[in-house]
Amino acid sequence: MSQHILVVEDEAEIASYLRRGLVYAGYTVEVATSGAAALAAARERPPDMVILDLGLPDIDGLTVAQRLRAGPPLPILMLTARDAVADRVAGLEGGAADYLTKPFAFEELLARIHVQLRRHSAQQEREILVVGALTMDAAAHEVRVSGRRVELTAKEFEVLDVFMRHPRQVLTREQVYDRVWGYDFGSDSNVLEVYVRALRQKLESADTPRMLQTVRGVGYVLREDT
């Protein structure tokens, strides 16, 4: 069965361009031209993924994303204006999996969709990852340290997930960027550092050694010992 994508876009030309391209790529596509129509469509036929334009005529896109995220896990890719940095940050914080800036190349959109759908289906398979005192239940989106439940944001979870799947293996920033975001932020970016710092704060306590360790000049490694 082909995967179903809900496109939320009020500009008719862009919507029909996306529909044609995605159908050609083998997806089934439904287009909603307002936030209200998107929420109704998602209830009617739950999509595998949502492409969400942030500038909608009725409910603002961020609110639509929040409401969609209240249901079962669902990858959301936001479309934003080039200068809307605050929107992108708010969207990613609010649980959108990724974003694309308009105008974009259709090939790039397809690549991002593949990344998100692949990751999503991997997460649906119930498995418990264990590295030292850390356990991760991908399906339940649950992380524990020595049995203590730790609350992570969606992106923190994804970053940790990459390391949990490659314990004791040094991962470069590029590898993590590629697996979590589907593209490289470049060597000037400190996006990963920000997430690593947040994860350490949440995972470490006074009596636990550092598990997510810096390998200077290379990247990071997750180990159970010091």
Can you give the binding site for Ca ion, defined by CB under 5 A?
10, 53, 55
Contact 145, 136 (CB under 8 A): no
Q: Which is nearer to Ca ion, 48 or 53 (CB)?
A: 53
User: Nearest approach, Cβ of 53 to Ca ion (angstroms)?
Assistant: 4
User: Nearest approach, Cβ of 182 to Ca ion (angstroms)?
Assistant: 23
Q: Cα angle vertex 83, ends 17, 9, to 5°?
A: 30
The answer for 141, left when phi > 0, alpha when psi is -120 to 50, beta otherwise, is left
Q: Which is nearer to Ca ion, 3 or 66 (CB)?
A: 66
Q: Which is nearer to Ca ion, 102 or 223 (CB)?
A: 102
Q: Which is nearer to Ca ion, 7 or 160 (CB)?
A: 7
User: Nearest approach, Cβ of 56 to Ca ion (angstroms)?
Assistant: 6
Residue type, 71: G
Rounded to an integer, what distance in angstroms lies between the CA atom of residue 179 and that of residue 115? 8
User: Nearest approach, Cβ of 12 to Ca ion (angstroms)?
Assistant: 10
Q: Which is nearer to Ca ion, 53 or 87 (CB)?
A: 53
The answer for 26, left when phi > 0, alpha when psi is -120 to 50, beta otherwise, is left
User: Nearest approach, Cβ of 26 to Ca ion (angstroms)?
Assistant: 26
Q: Strand order of the sheet with strand 134-137?
A: 128-131, 134-137, 142-145, 148-150
Q: Which is nearer to Ca ion, 61 or 182 (CB)?
A: 61
User: Nearest approach, Cβ of 58 to Ca ion (angstroms)?
Assistant: 11
Which residue's CB atom is positioned nearest to Ca ion? 55
Q: 55: Cβ–Cβ under 8 A, 6 or more apart, which residues? A: 10, 61, 81
Q: 34: Cβ–Cβ under 8 A, 6 or more apart, which residues? A: 10, 56, 57, 58, 59
